[in-house]
Amino acid sequence: MNTKIIADTGCDLDNKLVEEFDIDLLSIIVTYDDKEYKDRKDISADEMFQKQKLGENFTTAQIPLFEFLETFESYAKKGQDFIYFSLSAGITGGYNNALLAIRELSEKYPNVKMSALDSKGASVGYGLSLYYLGKYAKSGASFEDIIELSEFLSENIKHIFTVFDMEYLYKGGRVSRAQKNIGKLLNIRPIIVTDSEGKLSVQELSRGNKVYKRMAEIIEEETQGRNLSKDIFFPVYGEDVELISNFKNKLEALDENIILMPQRLGSSIGVHTGPEIIGTGYLKEEIPAKFKEGLI
């Protein structure tokens, strides 16, 4: 029996890939008008984006402990080993709830291997890590080897993105009021990355469409000019897929043989960025040879 991979909707991994790798996705809570909605179940990104453009406000809440207990125990009862790979602990407290659930269940099911791991990522960075983990688990890799791969991915999957409207980042405390106002006035866009603790931070600012070239330059610097042929990139877009075409061209200029697998932004992350976002998840270092057989 292969190790079960469990994750959450902060990964922005499309449903076809979720189904292909048999990943169980837990829903982050999206709150609107004093009501709670389960992401991907009770609310869609389209619904949220439309309301955001009308000035409506949304927030998110972490997955509750009881839901982790319920989901994890459903596998433990069957003797199914599982790994929960979480949205960055620097962004949500869900990871800590998962640890509490495993601590409680491990005493009840001592023969079941169970673990919660921090992706240190969000959106398509988290999703790209999950893509590799899901594929590796499906190949029949051992529980221990999956954990080892996850540790490599947590340190080496990078995320970079920009938004067209800094209002949502301002509301979430990611940029200052001054940065937001200057950005709007001068058509300046933030380049946002995740730091070593998995927290989102503004690395620098860029003007207008120059931001796409600058993001590609940062990727080239981060990957130290290594051969990117056949590397998988997960470009992300929000409401309009056409907005990503310029950035895709810049990525393809890095290496014409890179593999682009666009993913759409979901509600969990879209709450904090708004509907207009461009970015990608990518590998900083090449995956070690020992894992590659299970990833073919």
pLDDT computed for residue 288 by the predictor: 95
- Are 137 and 169 members of one domain? no
- Are 55 and 131 members of one domain? yes
Q: Residue 249 region, left (φ>0) first, then alpha (ψ -120 to 50), else beta?
A: alpha
pLDDT band, very low/low/confident/very high, at 154 (cuts 50, 70, 90) = very high
pLDDT computed for residue 200 by the predictor: 79
Q: Let me know: does 63 contact 116? Beta carbons within 8 Å.
A: no
- Are 8 and 137 members of one domain? yes
- DSSP state for residue 198 in the 8-state scheme: S
pLDDT at 19 over 80: yes
Last residue of one domain, picked from the residues 93, 122, 154: 154
pLDDT at 89 over 90: yes
Residues 111-152 pLDDT 10s:
999 999 999 999 999 999 999 999 999 999 999 999 999 999
Q: Let me know: does 94 contact 28? Beta carbons within 8 Å.
A: yes
Last residue of one domain, picked from the residues 124, 139, 154: 154
Return the CATH number at 244. Answer: 3.30.1180.10
Give pTM, 2 decimals. 0.94
- Closest C-alpha to 6, from 90, 91, 97: 97
Domain assignment of residue 282, given as a range: 157-292
How many structural domains comprise the chain?
2
- Are 172 and 246 members of one domain? yes
What are 166's two structure tokens? 């800094």
- Are 142 and 14 members of one domain? yes
Q: Average pLDDT for residues 10-17, to the nearest whole number?
A: 96
- Are 24 and 131 members of one domain? yes
pLDDT computed for residue 185 by the predictor: 63
Q: What angle do CA 50, 52, 55 make, to 5 degrees?
A: 120
- Are 260 and 190 members of one domain? yes
Q: How far apart are CA 6 and CA 26, in angstroms?
A: 8
Residues 276-287 pLDDT 10s:
999 999 999 999
- Are 139 and 175 members of one domain? no
- Are 19 and 138 members of one domain? yes
Residues 175-205 pLDDT 10s:
667 666 666 666 788 898 987 778 878 888 8
- Are 121 and 34 members of one domain? yes
Whole-number mean pLDDT of the chain?
Answer: 92
Q: How far apart are CA 198 and CA 84, in angstroms?
A: 17
Last residue of one domain, picked from the residues 120, 154, 188: 154
Q: Average pLDDT for residues 157-171, to the nearest whole number?
A: 85
- Are 62 and 118 members of one domain? yes
Q: How far apart are CA 267 and CA 46, in angstroms?
A: 8
- Are 56 and 161 members of one domain? no
What are 11's two structure tokens? 């990964």
SS3 call for 274: coil
pLDDT band, very low/low/confident/very high, at 296 (cuts 50, 70, 90) = confident
Q: Let me know: does 74 contact 67? Beta carbons within 8 Å.
A: no
Burial of 190 (0-12, 13-18, 19+ CB in 10 A): buried
Return the CATH number at 62. Answer: 3.40.50.10170
pLDDT computed for residue 188 by the predictor: 81
